[in-house]
C-alpha cells in the first residue's frame, strides 16, 4: 500500500518552513482507496515567490486548519503504507519536522519517483515532475498545488510500476517489511485479490518471486495454487508468504508481460514455463507455375516461418480459415492431396488456380492479403486493447514487423505522437515467442483496433 504525497510550504530557512497545503492519495497499487486534501494554516507568513508560484496566499489560510488539527488524519491514512513523492526526501523531512514540533516521531518507509524515474526512464531529458510528465503525455492541472502535483505523481508512479519488469520496487518494499508467517492467511490473501486480468507474483518472506503467472481471473488462479495437490505445489504453498499482482486489462499484454518477466526473474517454480510455446509453423513457397503455396511443417526458425502454432491441428484450422475467408485453393494451401484439381473445382467454388485457370497475380494477391492480415511482416502500428480501468487503454507497439513493447494511455494524442508513445511504452525484447504470442492473439480476433504510426515530425 502506498501514500502518494505532495506538500506545499511557506518557503524560508531550512527546517523553518511551514506546510500550507497537503494532498495524500492512498493507493493500493491499482486504485486510490482513500484521499486527504487540505489547506493548512502554517501560522507564519508565506514567502512572496511561493505565493507567485502556487497562488496560495496568507488570506486563503487564515481559516484553514492548523497542522495539529489534521495530524491524526495524516497518521491514520499513511499507516502501514510507503510514502511516495517526487523528491520524497523533501516532503518526508517537512512532515517529520511538523510532527516533531508536536512531540511525535513520525516514521514511514519512502519511495522517491525522481530516483525511480532516473532508473526506469534514463533517457528522459529532465526528471523534474512538470517536464517529465509532459514528455510522457500525462495531462496535469493545478501544477504547484498539492493535489495537482499528487495526481501527477500518482500517474507517473503507475507508469513506473508498469515499467518495473524486474520487480525491483515490490521486491525491495517487501524485503523491507516485517512480513512474518502468512501460512494461516492464505484465505485472506485470496480474498484480497481481484477477479481480473493481469500477472500475479507469489513471493517468499524475503520478497523473492517464487512463481509468476498470468490469468484472466487472478483470484481464481491463486486459489487453485493454494489448493493444488502434489509435492511441488505443497512446497510452493508453504514458501509463499505474499501474493502481489499487476492488472493489465488486456490478455495480450498479460501474456507478453508474463513471458518477459519470466525471462528476467526466472522464478524457481516457473522453469517449465520457459519452454518453447510452439511446435509447428507455416511456410510459403511457389509451385512451378508461380502460384504461392502454403505448407505446414515442424517449426524450424532457420527457414523463416510466416506464422507459428502450438500444434499441427491449430495450423490446419488456420489454413481452413483463410482458405474460406480469402477464397484460396485447397491444394495450394496444402489441405488437399489431390493429384490434379482440388475438390472445390467440382463444387464450382474454386476459380481454378490448381489447374492454372486463374490468373496467377489475382490469386497471389489474395494470399498476400491473408498474410498481411495475420502476420506482422512490415507492419508499423499500434495495437489497441483493454486497459486496467475504465477510460484507459493498452497499446502494443509494432515497428517494421517487430514488437517494441507495451504501455497504457488515456488520451489519443499519447499514441498519435510517436515521441510520447515511445516514452510511455515499456521496452521489451522481441523474439520468436513474442511474435508467436502476438500473432496467435490476432488470429483469435480479440484485438479492439489498430492504428498506423504517424511519421515523426
pLDDT for the residue 177: 45
Q: Which residues pair with 308 in a beta bridge?
A: 281
Measured CA to CA, the distance from residue 389 to residue 175 in angstroms comes to: 29
Closest CA to 25 of 96, 85, 105, 94: 85
Residue that wins the pLDDT comparison between 285 and 143? 285
The predicted pLDDT at position 448 comes to: 67
Contact 267, 200 (CB under 8 A): no
pLDDT at 182: 32
Whether residue 181 is predicted with pLDDT greater than 50 in this model: the reply is no
**C-alpha distance from residue 353 to each of 172, 179, 306 (Å):** 63, 69, 22
Return all residues near 325 (Cβ < 8 A) that are at least 6 apart.
370
pLDDT at 315: 94
Taking only the tens place, the pLDDT of each residue in 16-55 is: 889 999 999 999 988 999 999 999 999 999 999 999 888 9
Has residue 277 got a pLDDT over 90?
Answer: no
| pLDDT at position 179 over 50 | no
User: Does 247 or 13 have the greater pLDDT score?
Assistant: 247
Give yes or no for a contact between 290 and 360, defined as CB atoms under 8 angstroms apart: yes
Average of pLDDT values for 48-73? 92
Q: Mind listing the pLDDT tens digit for each residue in 84-120?
A: 999 888 999 899 889 988 888 888 888 889 988 888 8
Tell whether the model's pLDDT for residue 386 goes beyond 70.
yes
Confidence of residue 180 (pLDDT cuts 50, 70, 90): very low
Question: Lowest mean pLDDT: which of 7-11, 30-34, 242-246, 276-280?
Answer: 276-280
159 burial level (CB within 10 Å; 0-12, 13-18, 19+): buried
Residue linked to cell 490434379:
340
Locate 256 and state its grid cell. 507478453
Whether the Cβ atoms of residue 244 and residue 201 lie closer than 8 Å to each other: yes
Mean of pLDDT values over 392-416: 91
The domain ranges of the chain are 2-163, 178-270, 280-374, 381-452
Give the pLDDT of residue 274.
Answer: 55
Q: Which one of 1.20.210.10, 3.40.1440.10, 3.40.50.150, 3.30.420.40 gives the CATH number of domain 178-270? A: 3.40.1440.10
Which pLDDT value is given to residue 124? 85
C-alpha angle 186-188-193 in degrees, rounded to nearest 5: 100
What are the cell numbers at 275?
519452454
Fold of 2-163: Nucleotidyltransferase; domain 5 (3.30.420)
- CA dist., res. 146 & res. 74, Å (int): 14
- Cell triple for 309: 502454432
Which of the two residues, 192 and 396, has the higher pLDDT score? Answer: 396
Query: Residues 197-214: pLDDT tens digits?
Result: 999 999 998 999 999 999
Is the pLDDT reported for residue 419 higher than 60? Answer: yes
Cβ–Cβ under 8 Å, residues 85 and 151: no
**Mean pLDDT of the residues in the chain:** 88
pLDDT of residue 163 exceeding 90, the answer is no
Overall average pLDDT of the 374-378 stretch: 90
What is the edge-to-edge ordering of all strands in the sheet holding 209-215?
209-215, 198-203, 242-247
| Averaged pLDDT for residues 304-318 | 93
Domains 2-163 and 178-270 share a fold: no
Amino acid at each position: 500500500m502506498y501514500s502518494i504525497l505532495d506538500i506545499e510550504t511557506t518557503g524560508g530557512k531550512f527546517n523553518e518552513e511551514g506546510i500550507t497545503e497537503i494532498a495524500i492519495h492512498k493507493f493500493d497499487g491499482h486504485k486510490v482507496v482513500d484521499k486527504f486534501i487540505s489547506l493548512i494554516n502554517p501560522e507564519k507568513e508565506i514567502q512572496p515567490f511561493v505565493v507567485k508560484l502556487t497562488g496560495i496566499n496568507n488570506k486563503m489560510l487564515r481559516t484553514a486548519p492548523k497542522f495539529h488539527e489534521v495530524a491524526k488524519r495524516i497518521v491514520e491514512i499513511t499507516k502501514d503504507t510507503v510514502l511516495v513523492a517526487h523528491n520524497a526526501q523533501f516532503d518526508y523531512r517537512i512532515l517529520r519536522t511538523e510532527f516533531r514540533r508536536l512531540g511525535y516521531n513520525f516514521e514511514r518507509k519512502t519511495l522517491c519517483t525522481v530516483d525511480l524515474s532516473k532508473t526506469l526512464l534514463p533517457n528522459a531529458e529532465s526528471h523534474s515532475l512538470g517536464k517529465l510528465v509532459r514528455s510522457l503525455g500525462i495531462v496535469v492541472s493545478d501544477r504547484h498545488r498539492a493535489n495537482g502535483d499528487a495526481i501527477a505523481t500518482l500517474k507517473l508512479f503507475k507508469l513506473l510500476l508498469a515499467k518495473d519488469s524486474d520487480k525491483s520496487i515490490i521486491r525491495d518494499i517487501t524485503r523491507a517489511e516485517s512480513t512474518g508467517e502468512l501460512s494461516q492467511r492464505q484465505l485472506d490473501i485470496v480474498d484480497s485479490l481481484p477477479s481480473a486480468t493481469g500477472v500475479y507474483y507469489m513471493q517468499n518472506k524475503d520478497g523473492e518471486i517464487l512463481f509468476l503467472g498470468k490469468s484472466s481471473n487472478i483470484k481464481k488462479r491463486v486459489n487453485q495454487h493454494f489448493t493444488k495437490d502434489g509435492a511441488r505445489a505443497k512446497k510452493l504453498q508453504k514458501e509463499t508468504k505474499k501474493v502481489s499482482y499487476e492488472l493489465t486489462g488486456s490478455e495480450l499484454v498479460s501474456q507478453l508481460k508474463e513471458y518477459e518477466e519470466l525471462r528476467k526473474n526466472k522464478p524457481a517454480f516457473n522453469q517449465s514455463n520457459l519452454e518453447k510455446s510452439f511446435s509447428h509453423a507455416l511456410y510459403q513457397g511457389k509451385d512451378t507455375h508461380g502460384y504461392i503455396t502454403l505448407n505446414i511443417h515442424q517449426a524450424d526458425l532457420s527457414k523463416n516461418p510466416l506464422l507459428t502454432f502450438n500444434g499441427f491441428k491449430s495450423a490446419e484450422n488456420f489454413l481452413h480459415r483463410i482458405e474460406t475467408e480469402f477464397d484460396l485453393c485447397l491444394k495450394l494451401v496444402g489441405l488437399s492431396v489431390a493429384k490434379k484439381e482440388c475438390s472445390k473445382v467440382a463444387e464450382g467454388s474454386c476459380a481454378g488456380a490448381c489447374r492454372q485457370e486463374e490468373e496467377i497475380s489475382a490469386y497471389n494477391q489474395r494470399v498476400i492479403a491473408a498474410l498481411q492480415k495475420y502476420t506482422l511482416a512490415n507492419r508499423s502500428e499500434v495495437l489497441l486493447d483493454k486497459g486496467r480501468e475504465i477510460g484507459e487503454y493498452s497499446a502494443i507497439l509494432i515497428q517494421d514487423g517487430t514488437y517494441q513493447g507495451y504501455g497504457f494511455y488515456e488520451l489519443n494524442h499519447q499514441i498519435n505522437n510517436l515521441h510520447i508513445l515511445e516514452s510511455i511504452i515499456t521496452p521489451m525484447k522481441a523474439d520468436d515467442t513474442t511474435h508467436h504470442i502476438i500473432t496467435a492473439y490476432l488470429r483469435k480476433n480479440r484485438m479492439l483496433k489498430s492504428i498506423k504510426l504517424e511519421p515523426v515530425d
